[in-house]
Amino acid sequence: MVAAAANGFATRFPCPIAEPSTSYSSLASGSRLRFGSRPFRIHSLVSGRRLSSSNLNPSCLVGDSDKNSIQSGAVESMALSVSALELLKTSAAERYTKEKSSIVIVGLNVHTAPVEIREKVNIPESQWPQAINELCALNHIEEAAVLSTCNRIEIYVKALSQHRGVKEVTEWMSKTSGVPVSELCKHRILLYNKDATQHLFEVASGLDSLVLGEGQILAQVKQVVKVGQGVPGFGSEIGGLFKHAITAGKRVRTETNIASGSVSVSSAAVELALLKLQEPSYANARVLVVGAGKMGKLLIKHLIAKGCEKMVVVNKSEEKVAAIREEFEDVEIIYRPVSELLSSASDADLVFTCTASEAPLLFKEQVKTFPPVRREIKSRLFIDISVPRNVDSSVSDLETARVYDVDDLKEVVSANMEDRLRKAMEAQSIIEEELSKFEAWKDSRETVPTIKKFRAYVERIRAAEVEKCLSKFGDNISKKEKQAIYDLSMGIVKKLLHGPMEHLRCDGSDGRSLNEVLENMRALNRMFDLHTETSVLEQKIRTKLERSQK
């Protein structure tokens, strides 16, 4: 039954910008199960390109043998096209406003990109606000958020133009990471609007994790909102998207058994180490844990649950290690400073690394000088669940060492795929409900500009009429009387606005449909000629264009 249901799930693939005709079979290595009912659509960005001034060079359009014959004609043609080019530039804002703004995800994750690529594109949490500011400085990006974990780096944006936004974000990712655009396009995911929303809801629910139902990802989604507070580019729509995702994630965890018996990345790492040890036991293994943050603490808990009674923990400060030691008084937890990392690693049979370091901590030249491990262990194990990786990839070249990273955890979690799919199906109805709520909330926001315009329109009339009234009194009016006139005008306006404002809101409390609300909005626009004012979207695009031309 579950296998049959699995066949109905759509498969999501990365979307190469320059290869819209790429076959599904050629992308199979980047595919992953889609737990939702909505398939991933491959958008052909190439066919959507607009003509730019760089495209008008005749040498780009003809072969070398024809260049001489059209040279004089090309000069005349270019001269005649100057006015057309100027018109193209000046009408840019009008052309762009024909596209509605879109929610877009551009990213890489454990299903589509190897850790070698993800670690280069990874953005530390401390740099998220700066990244949001840089993204929103791009011409077609209005709002942005960054979700960067050991399993994914995903950029969420509200793009004023879908195709241009994707291009700008991809180029920004390439510039900040040093990974060529062509390489990013091989591994990235592109999701738009409802697909993007559903993806984030699945992420927050643990359905998109390497380890189904793992709880740490919901905390990481919450952290995106926490970090984004106060950052101008973390706007109301992207912020609302993440807040709705948190609600969906909480509901999935409380209303289904998705988390029962589930494992985390840390527990999967502990299981992987047991599989690789000659003796599947921690009783005699000399264990080192590098890092005592959230991931390190989880590692230590799972090691203890699997019977590890003694370990060394290397960390910048002893405070966190001491707190863990107090929690597990029956286990011998020995603290070592970072300065003793190499000596501690050389004494260990099994090394777990899970720090936020942006550079490797252990290199081949260092590890090859370590003394051999005990005969029954055979080779030293390095389980590196950090992104970027803490153990340099060259260490795996040594015969005395075996290195495993987060991508190797698939070996642990793939064994129970049938159970994973069954649990995922339990969560889908909740995700669909929350998806509908978010879409209704987002659609209802279309009335916000009209509400603001109407309020401003009425306020202009009120202020003008009050001023006209006061001018008739001249100086023969007291401050108290002025206040009374002002209060009267405000009271009248408030009562008159109440009805129209109520009919422009769609919060689901009064049974009013979205279509009815939107029709009310259009009627108000017609009656008071509000639509003749410059649209909010057009004004935003004009501002972006003016800034880019300075």
Residues marked active site are found at 150
What sign does the dihedral 85-90-95-100 (CA atoms) show?
A: positive
Measured CA to CA, the distance from residue 177 to residue 397 in angstroms comes to 26
Closest CA to 295 of 228, 393, 202, 219: 219
HSE-CB at 152 with a 13 A cutoff on CA atoms is 25
Q: How far is CA 472 from CA 465, 466, 477, in A?
A: 11, 10, 10
HSE-CB at 388 with a 13 A cutoff on CA atoms is 16
Let me know: does 110 contact 152? Beta carbons within 8 Å.
yes
The 10 Å CB-count burial string (b at 16+, else e) for 339-376 is eebbebbbebbbbbbbbeeeebbbebebbeebeebeee
Closest CA to 346 of 321, 319, 312: 312
In angstroms, how far is CA 526 from the centroid of its own chain? 39
Answer whether the bond into residue 371 is a cis peptide, omega within 30°: no
Let me know: does 431 contact 221? Beta carbons within 8 Å.
no
Measured CA to CA, the distance from residue 177 to residue 130 in angstroms comes to 14
Total Cβ atoms within 10 A of residue 281? 12
Q: How far is CA 17 from CA 28, 106, 164, 188, 538, in A?
A: 17, 12, 12, 10, 27
Which stretches within 371-474 are classed as H helix? 410-413, 417-444, 448-473
Q: How far is CA 307 from CA 27, 277, 311, 330, 541, in A?
A: 42, 14, 11, 11, 60
> At residue 215, what are phi and psi to the nearest 5 degrees?
-85, -20
* CB proximity list for 365: less than 8 A, separation 6 or greater: none
For the record, the structure tokens of 96 come out as: 């762009």
HSE-CB at 524 with a 13 A cutoff on CA atoms is 24
For the record, the structure tokens of 299 come out as: 């590692």
